[in-house]
Amino acid sequence: MQADTIFPVGTYGYQQVDLDFLNERAAQFRDQVARRLSGDLSEDEFKPLRLMNGLYLQLHAYMLRVAIPYGVLSAAQLRRLARIARIYDRGYGHFTTRQNIQFNWIKLEGAPDILAELAEVGMHAIQTSGNCIRNITSDEFAGAAADELLDPRVHAEILRQWSTLHPEFSFLPRKFKFAISGSPHDRVAARFHDIGLIAKPGADGAVGFEVFAGGGLGRTPAIGMKLREWLPEHELLAYMEAILRVYNAYGRRDNLYKARIKILAQALGRDAFAEKVEAEFAAIPKERYRLGPEIVEAIRARFGQPHFDAPDDAPARLSDDRRRDHGFDLWVRTNSHPHRAAGYISVVISLKPNGGIPGDASAMQMDAIADLAERFSSGEIRVTHLQNLVLGHVRQDELYTLWQALGPLGLATPNRGLITDIVCCPGLDYCALANARSIPISQRISERFADVELQQQIGSLRINISGCINACGHHHNADIGILGVDKKGEEFFQLTFGGRGEEDAAIGQIIGTALPESEAVNVISRVIDTYLARRVQNERFRDTYRRLGATFFKEAAYAVN
Amino acid sequence: MPLIECGRIVSDPWQQLGDDAALPSGPCILSLSRLQQDEAVQNASHLGLGVALPVDQPAEVLAPYLERLALVAVNFPTFRDGRGFTQARSLREHLAFSGEIRATGNILPDQYAFLLRCGITTVEIKDGADPAAWQNEADRFSFTYQPSVLKEPVLSGLRRTIRFGVPRNTYSQLIGK
């Protein structure tokens, strides 16, 4: 990428110094790999260094996780990911629940070349693993959604920069995840992150943040505690420093499974935890850590803005197209989101084809999406935490043409937010931590409910699948959560129901024993049948579940005939 | 063990003192408990007094003694345990300690810039370790994206210029005092 030219839409345009920094970083990693290959570094010493660059050793190969800050990619960046998939991997990549992409078949010797290729387009794998501040995730409809109060991506970029190679917080007790939203409709699961921020406007154009800390999923799911109703923008970094310092000093280091900030926050209790944070915050020299409006504006100025030029009749033409083509209408109904600008719309490109692997995209698909993004959506692509892609700024009168182009690519599945829009971790097919394969059961469910009309009839419903207790598939906060467990060497699946990730965050409950794959799919079918039989009018699954209760569903679904 | 300061091997005048050992005439590093309990130590008027801050103690426990201390050693039981970074930063930022902060334990050259930017001045490295690796890491990056106790000059936006490579001798020179 050429620096200091036209800025990419929706993401930060790197300056030459930023690109130099990535090159320095890539060179550092090339050194480290050379020291590992020559034996100067032991695997134990190399491990934290490779993890700081997103390189994991998995079951069959190295896996490289590339950061996609706040989930936004330019077309050039997506093409580069396609190239990496083609040259260094097996022709595909896997988009993750943290808006990153993973390449699963990497050779250690090739990893430095990949980082150098990424640096050329302003990308990296810094802090995509290890006990440090990870990729800052954000709303996939940021800067586009009609309901948004504030585009959170400028502050996500500020947090990304601030947390990059942070001297004090690169060896925390455990990993640390931020999410930031600018909409009152929380699409980032802010309450399920180590720190969750809701950006909002105040009086006189002021910007502030609602601050949650201590949320998380994994072994001990916890809903974040609200530390501040309103944190002024200029104190954002000082306050984040305060939370991280308390965590770094007092977080547990004796037990990997009790090392996240949520455990510290719960052990202290909300008030004592908040008191420690506020005491540290009070002691911090505010001027040194001040985030002045001039810094915010300088960073904002390097974000490209979409140019809106839809004709007045764009909505009418979209309506005509929908009337003419039922398949298109179905897709628009589920896979679009209202845009703030007249005549525009955001669309979700489902990476959940019938029977496919959730979140996977081939190099060919990535290249094609990059082309379509340039043609239809200001060259901007977003990755969602539900493992789909979004084109944020599409003219309504061009949507039909876009949809026609997506179909032959296998990218027009009309299932966003429906039962086959499954979130799924890589599971035992790849992951060294997994207890069970999560991909096959997601494929079985996808096949079972493949009928589009049936999916529409079932309506809004989220299934999340994790192959182990670490919960990368976020099974706790789905309507139906599936957790892979190991029972004496056999793969079993524990179901949870009633989880929610948004403003009304809730952790799913277990209502029956773990089951083998086919039985688990049957139980889900019976739960859905029960819901369809008992729902009142257009009641959503989650509401019916809440109304009838866990016991009712347990009896209906787990009843042995 | 060799001692690194600003990327160079320097001589180490400090002596580790056991809890029962008699006070020497030269500078010595004591345990926190001896510092807290031994009045003779607190009243000793010889030049250098240092303390080894246990990794599970906040820097604030040293507040009553800081005027007497010329050195605080922070420990890294493993290179993955980053509490020493926060201890050092607290010493500089909250307690305005301007003496030597020494990193001991298990540290990698790759962490050197982090150590310096948290206010650590000297590092005990393994016998036989190559000081060039440390020098390389200190010179690796020319700027950084966040403020630190070194009060680096602003380059632009959040960026600060860092330059550790030039040999300097003391913390006060490093922060430009």
Contact A199, A212 (CB under 8 A): no
Say yes or no to pLDDT of A280 above 70: yes
Residue A52's pLDDT is what? Answer: 84
Place of tokens 């990296």: A124
Chain segment B72-123, per-residue pLDDT in tens: 999 999 999 999 999 999 999 999 999 999 999 999 898 999 999 999 999 9
Query: Which of A104, A177, A107, A224 shows the shortest CA–CA distance to A502?
Result: A224
Q: Domain-by-domain residue ranges, chain B?
A: 3-139
Most A CBs within 10 Å: which of B78, B86, B112, as the mutation test of the A interface? B86
B114 and A165 in contact by Cβ < 8 A? yes
For B4-44, how does the pLDDT look when each residue is reduced to its tens digit (9 = 90+)?
Answer: 998 889 999 999 999 999 888 889 999 999 999 988 887 77
For chain B, the 3-state helix, strand and coil shares in percent, each to the nearest 5, are 30, 25, 45
How far is A209 from A40, CA to CA, in rounded Å?
46
* Chain B residues within an 8 Å CB radius of A163: 146
Contact A359, A274 (CB under 8 A): no
pLDDT at position B173 is 54
Q: Are A474 and A464 in contact (CB under 8 A)?
A: yes
CB contact (8 A) between residue A17 and residue B155: yes
Amino acid, single-letter form, for residue B107:
I
Q: Does B82 touch chain A (CB under 8 A)?
A: yes
The residues in A 217-256 lying below 8 A from B, measured between CB atoms, are: 237, 245, 248-249, 253
Please give the structure tokens belonging to residue A63. Answer: 């896996």
Rounded distance, CA A168 to CA B90, Å? 11
CATH of region A314-409:
3.90.480.20
Q: Using an 8 Å CB-CB cutoff, list chain B residues near A285.
A: 93
| Residue A442 touches chain B, beta carbons under 8 Å | no
Half-sphere exposure of A297 (CA within 13 A, CB side): 3
The ipTM value here is 0.93
**How many angstroms from the chain centroid is the CA of residue B159?**
24
For the cut 90, the answer to whether the pLDDT of residue A417 exceeds it is yes
pLDDT given at position B169: 44
Q: How confident is the model at residue A561 (pLDDT cuts 50, 70, 90)?
A: very low
* Superfamily designation of domain A150-300: Sulfite Reductase Hemoprotein, domain 1 (3.30.413.10)
Tell me: the pLDDT tens digits for A486-544?
Answer: 999 999 999 999 998 777 778 899 988 999 999 999 999 999 999 999 999 889 999 99
In A, minimum Cα distance to B85 occurs at: A168
Question: Which pLDDT value is given to residue B168?
Answer: 45
Sort A167 into a burial class: Cβ within 10 Å, 0-12 / 13-18 / 19+.
buried
What is the dotted CATH code of the domain comprising A16-120? 3.90.480.20
Q: Express each pLDDT in A370-396 by its tens digit.
A: 999 999 999 999 999 999 999 999 999
Task: Indicate where chain A has its CATH 3.30.413.10 domain(s).
Answer: 150-300, 423-558
Output phi, psi for A397, to 5 deg.
-80, -10
Distance CA A352, CA B67 (A): 64
Asked if the C-beta of B93 comes within 8 angstroms of chain A's C-beta atoms, the answer is yes
pLDDT exceeds 60 at position B165: no
Asked if B146 and A20 come within 8 Å (Cβ–Cβ), the reply is no
Residue A196: DSSP 8-state: E
Contact across the interface for A17 and B156, Cβ inside 8 Å: yes
CB contact under 8 A, A248 and B85: yes
Chain B residue closest in CA terms to A248: B83
Is the CB of residue A354 less than 8 Å from the CB of residue A447? Answer: yes
State whether residue B117 sits within 8 Å of chain A by CB: yes
Backbone φ/ψ region at A245: left (φ over 0), alpha (ψ -120 to 50), beta: alpha
The model's pTM is 0.93
Query: Is the Cβ pair B89, A295 closer than 8 Å?
Result: no
Strand, helix or coil for residue A472: coil
Delimiting residues of CATH 3.90.480.20 domain(s) in chain A: 16-120, 314-409
Phi and psi at A318, nearest 5°, equal -65, -45
Split at pLDDT 50, 70, 90, the class of A219 is confident
Tally the C-alpha atoms within 13 A of residue B52's C-alpha that lie toward its C-beta: 19
List, in sequence order, the alpha helices (H) in A409-559. Answer: 439-448, 452-458, 517-534, 541-548, 550-558
Of A162, A171, A289, the CB nearest to B85: A171
pLDDT in tens, A423-444: 999 999 999 899 999 999 999 9
Tell me the shortest Cα–Cα distance from B86 to chain A, in angstroms: 6
Within a 13 Å sphere around the CA of A108, how many CA atoms are in the beta-carbon half?
Answer: 18
Residue of A335, A350, A353 whose CA lies nearest to A443 = A353
| Among candidate residues B78, B80, B75, B29, the one with its CA nearest the CA of residue B55 | B75
Instruction: Tell the burial category of A252 from Cβ atoms under 10 Å away from its Cβ (0-12, 13-18, 19+).
Output: middle
3-state secondary structure of A217: coil
CATH architecture of A423-558: 2-Layer Sandwich (3.30)
Tell me which fold the domain B3-139 belongs to.
TIM Barrel (3.20.20)
Residue A244: closest CA among chain B residues belongs to which residue? B86
